[in-house]
Structure 1
Amino acid sequence: MSKILWAFAFIMIIFMLFYSGYVYATPRCSCGEDRILKLQTPLMTGQDVREIQYQLKKLGFYKGTVNGIYDKKTSEAVRDFQKMEGLRPDGIFGIKTLLKMAKIYEKPAAKVPSEKPPGEVSIVIYTLDRKLVVMSEGKPFKSFPVAVGTFDTPTPIGLFTITQKDSWGEGFGSRWMRLNVPWGVYGIHGTNKPWSIGGFESHGCIRMLNPHVEQVYEWVNIGTKVYIIGGVDGPFTFGLKPLTEGSRGSDVMEVQKRLIGYGYYNGKIDGIYSWDVREAVRAFQKDNGLEPSGNVDEKTYRALGIILFE
């Protein structure tokens, strides 16, 4: 009997540890970890290699062509940079080398006021201007440059709230503030690529310089409102993308709202193009003389009343 009790207790402990880790683990956004770049056969290639070559060239260490190929010249440039920064000169571009390079770009970062904004704090993010503004009682208090999503991975547009605050450590950006975006994990966080600030570079999150995000982190609370603004076309700032089952984003959310308004959809407004949304679109298309494909194309957008400004 005692063996059975011990076995039961052991199972319960394992379950509690697993469950606790599952519940309290901080979810990561889709920005992804950086891969380690090194000289190998076949040669490593990619946009990340091109980015490092460009930064090494700006710093005067790389004399070759910025071609996205981690070749001998690139490895030697990394080795020279490592020597200069007191790192082991192995020619491998890993997290330690990346953080050393990041520190160089963070040094000229503008100082931020240490005093907390008076009154109620909110945040407004202008995606086209790549700017985050901390508001105090509805008035601008301090603005910061940011990086936002690319055309293929746009930053969500709309009104959200901060639902989680955490510290991720230097390797991924020092602070994390999650937003209640219903179709994925998005938030405001720091970066180990400060040179990306000011561009359309992320997988949808809002990147800030680490000194900046650390200050903003202290000013906001769980429940702080975050307004993310696109261009005059709102969630369709980057155009009318074809939508199919599995699509996610602010554009899907707007289509869901239109379908509810026309009486074709009564599900969740969550920005997820599910089977229910597809069937609602199909019924709408059929009633409006369109091909009932269940996918949103240019003609369906127009029938829904979604037309971009010229």
Structure 2
Amino acid sequence: MKHLALLLCLLLLVPAGGLCEKILWEDDAGQVVLSDDGNVQFVSPGGEATAEPIEENIDENTYAPDETPAPVEKSLPNDFTFRKTVKYGDSGELVAQIQARLAELGFYNAKVSGGYYKVTKAAVKAFQTQNGLSADGIAGRDTQELLFSAAAVPADATPRPSPTPEPTKYTLMVDVANQITRAYTYDENGQYTVLVREMICSTGTSKYPTPCGTTIMPKKRARWGYFPTWGSHAQYLTRIDSANAFHSVLYTEPDETTLSVKSFEALGTPASHGCVRLLVSDAKWIYDNCKEGTIITVYEGEYDPEYTMTLKPTLNTSTLRENPLPSPTAAPVYSRANWPTKYRTLSRGKTGADVYMLQMRLTELGYYHGSVTGGYYGGTIQAVKDFQKDHGLTVDGAAGKQTQALLFSDAVGQTAAQPEETSVPVADTPVPTAAPTLTPEPTPTPQPTFTPTPDPALYMPIQDSVG
């Protein structure tokens, strides 16, 4: 009922122009609601939603509080204790104290009314700028603690320089073509080149795409979130931009026992409404380690679905968490002597040494350009289709006995993707004449046969899947 009440309240708050997805940011107190257009709303424990105050043309000099604020002493408090953040639209004794202190420092020249409106907001921003703080016009902990301290710089003094921000420890790269999010940290030259973590994900579908481009991670994050439009929850939300976030796979309730297995199984494919879904462990890693200011780049990489599947774990149905990925094993030795002589039909999802040999042979012939992993997925399927088409076979992308027997035969040579061998001219036996004997052209040096070199670290299977 609580979620139904929240949904009804939010629907009333949506502009008539159309329904946009909302994310309810369920922090520890369960109160803050942030919509995808960046407008903050507040939810009481009973589920009543109220919009953030709109900045109207209200002047502190004309503001009439319901109750007259208590007289405020201008002396600096001896034992200031931060109580709460105040901002535009708030009122009360704390606002009056802030106004009085701002006036004392030369930033505020209106009536100490206890109402936080345009003059107070401008004064707070001026104080923040003068004192090297982030100037957002909101009196949060850092602003208040400095404001009510002897270290506060008055308006007529030399401004305190803003601290030089340190680079964020990580940058995030979201590859929407391969459904992989990668985290990099900086090298000794300060460049983000050191790969720290690779995370399988689900980005937006074609109807709700995750937009490509570069953004700076906002501060907003939450332990749980609720999507009232879709009736689902997620863990460890971290903003990408005003419309999307990194978060875990989905749940029907804010409870880990209510996992949507469908959302887990969809990892590695586009499945979201624009957000980036991740394994719980990966969403938590971003939530814990990637701070405000982290650079996020969403881009379309070179399609390599076989590599993506090396990052996809299976689900532990007891814990409803992912099983650990298998450790890479030694790759089989690729040579003609090891070509398979018995064939099973290979199709999507099959894994094993025979898939590995198939990928190596297709790479050798110029049909396959992806990672050689021993897993049969989209890139291998397309390469098999191309081979079948070129050799007059049924084009279905499945490597049956006929396809493999031809592929692993001497009847199949190099394709046009490789340099063609130059034929060696053979000189005819000269007929004795008075003319000089022709000198045969030099025999060209034979070109070495190309053998693909896989990365052993990518070979994951090695238990053959059957069926």
- Give TM class, smaller chain: 0.3 to 0.5
Structure ranking higher in helix proportion: 1
Structure of greater Rg: 2
> Structure with the greater relative contact order (CA < 8 A, sep ≥ 6): 1 or 2?
1
